[in-house]
Amino acid sequence: MQFARRGRLDGGRAAVPRSAPRLYVLDGLRLVAALLVVFFHYVALKGGWGRDPRSIFPTLQPIAQYGWVGVEVFFLISGFVICMSTWGRSLGDFVVSRASRIYPAYWVAVLVTAGVVALWPQVRSVHGWDTVLTNLTMLQQGLGVWDVDGVYWTLFIELKFYVLFAIVVATGVTYRKCLVFCAVWTVVAISAPSVDNKLLDMWAMPLYAPYFISGIAFYLMYRFKPTALLWGIVVLSLLLAQHGIPRRVADNASKSTPTWPAGLLVVLAFVVMALIALGFFDRIQWRWLATAGALTYPLYLIHQYIGMTAVHWLRELVPPHLLVPGLAAVMLGAAWLMHRYVERPLGSRMRRSLRKGIDEVRRHSAPAGPLAAERVREDGAQPAPVPLRQPGVYEQSERDRVGAGKAEGS
């Protein structure tokens, strides 16, 4: 495999050829991770069933109780995808891409979920509409405000990762900078538990940092080639991830629940990502996986308490073993509707608006005089004169993302 042909170390935009295949396997893996979480909420938790799910699903519940590992898989994929999608891009590109990707569906999900639990509060109740409004910022975790839906805590973890990686993006993403970022974050993450500092712990995210860091290392392998250094980062991150597994099991199951199955699932996720990084799945070009991957985010946003409320009302009318897959199918249909009629149109409008705003910032912040049209290229080369406003620059970035095999996500 000619890994080095995938890109240059300097982060230049021309590093990735437009003919690079889309990594459809990442879309499929994201959907698998989302379904694991759905399986966990519908089968392993009391939720809307009104009694211990072990009495309802004696065979499935012991398996479903580890479905929360899907969250860790999301973080692993996120490290890979964010590093891939920001290579050769500006900070403005990054902000536009992330904001227009995560907020439109989230806003609708917050309002719809709040409406459902307000009308039928048997499983969840609204803690006041001021809380709902705060949830629209996606910053409620940092403010100590109640989440409208239980899954939203993971979105704040993602946001913090975006903020941290934005430091790299702002200076130009390169191989060396990514390595330094991984090294520094690892050191801070392993130090945070020993330091009595809530602010440090909040930003270091010691339980989840290993997954993002591994994702970045896997992408560096995919873009360039595997090295002993990159494998060292991955192995160290895997060991640190395993160290955090007992705490995650304790947070999501009883004290007597074995921890090894969760650890095994994490190892399997790392193995799959390693195979992706080594190019074993490049030939998988099943276009339907892109659609499946597009459903992942809206499905994740709406499935928990809306689904549990549906379980409460249907549990006496539909057999449990039919209710769970039927409800999952309905949620997938609702996710498609949200993707088609919320994410795509609103996301597109939001991108256009944000791009105009960023163009205005560039126009007003440019120095006056004959040097106004100069910009420093992200690969560190000497400044080259370019037009102050470049029509279509963001549209070209979107096409380059597709060509580079971007798999959007969290």
Name the one residue in this structure whose structure tokens are 């944000």.
Answer: 354
pLDDT band at 398 (very low <50, low <70, confident <90, very high): very low
Contact call for residues 301 and 109 (beta carbons, < 8 A): yes
Report pLDDT digits (tens) over 73-130: 999 999 999 999 999 999 999 999 999 999 999 999 999 999 999 999 999 988 889 9
Task: Give the pLDDT score at 383.
Answer: 44
Confidence of residue 406 (pLDDT cuts 50, 70, 90): very low
Confidence of residue 368 (pLDDT cuts 50, 70, 90): low
3-state secondary structure the chain: CCHHHHCCCCCCHHHCCCCCCCCHHHHHHHHHHHHHHHHHHHHHCCCCCCCCHHHCCCCCHHHHCCCCHHHHHHHHHHHHHHHHHHCCCCHHHHHHHHHHHHHHHHHHHHHHHHHHHHHCCCCCCCCCHHHHHHHCCCCHHHHCCCCCCHHHHHHHHHHHHHHHHHHHHHHCCCHHHHHHHHHHHHHHHHHHHHCCCHHHHHHHCCCCHHHHHHHHHHHHHHHCCCCHHHHHHHHHHHHHHHHHHHHHHHHHCCCCCCCHHHHHHHHHHHHHHHHHHCCCCCCCCCCHHHHHHHHHHHHHHHHHHHHHHHHHHHCCCCCHHHHHHHHHHHHHHHHHHHHHHHHHHHHHHHHHHHHHHHHHHHHHHCCCCCCCCEECCCCCCCCEECCCCCCCHHHHHHHHHHHCCCCCCC
Q: Higher confidence at residue 12 or residue 74?
A: 74
Do strands 374-375 and 384-385 pair parallel, antiparallel, or not at all (unpaired)?
Answer: antiparallel
Q: What pTM was estimated for this model as a whole?
A: 0.86
Are the C-beta atoms of residues 11 and 169 closer than 8 Å to each other? Answer: no
Q: What is the pLDDT of residues 317-336, one digit of tens each?
A: 999 999 999 999 999 999 99
Q: 396 pLDDT band (50/70/90 cuts)?
A: very low
pLDDT band at 314 (very low <50, low <70, confident <90, very high): very high
- pLDDT, greater one: 175 or 368: 175
Contact 71, 334 (CB under 8 A): no
- Average pLDDT on 263-267 reads 98
Given a cut of 90, whether residue 244 has pLDDT beyond it is yes
Which carries the bigger pLDDT value, residue 20 or residue 224? 224
Identify the band that residue 20 occupies on the pLDDT scale cut at 50, 70 and 90: low
Q: In this structure, how many other beta carbons lie within 10 angstroms of the beta carbon of residue 130?
A: 9
Residue 297 near residue 410 (C-beta atoms within 8 A): yes
The answer on pLDDT for 345 being more than 50 is yes
pLDDT for 391 beyond 70: no
Alpha-carbon distances, residue 242 vs 7, 37, 287, 362 (angstroms): 32, 19, 34, 45
Q: pLDDT (tens digit, 9 = 90+) per residue, 124-154?
A: 988 889 999 999 999 999 999 999 999 999 9
Q: Name the amino acid, one letter, at 26.
A: L
Spatial separation of the C-alpha atoms in residues 242 and 249, rounded to whole Å: 11
Q: Which two tokens stand for residue 218?
A: 């896997």
pLDDT at 125: 87
Asked if 122 and 309 count as a contact pair (C-beta separation under 8 A), the reply is yes
Beta pairing partners, 375? 384
Q: Which residues contact 17 (CB under 8 A, 6 or more apart)?
A: 5, 403
CA distance 338 to 334: 6
| Per-residue model confidence (pLDDT) at position 320 | 96
Q: How far is CA 42 from CA 60, 98, 364, 410, in A?
A: 11, 29, 52, 22
What is the band of 6 on the pLDDT scale with cuts at 50, 70, 90? low
Cα separations in angstroms, 113 against 102, 128, 328: 16, 13, 16
pLDDT at 366 over 80: no
How confident is the prediction for the chain on average, in pLDDT? 87
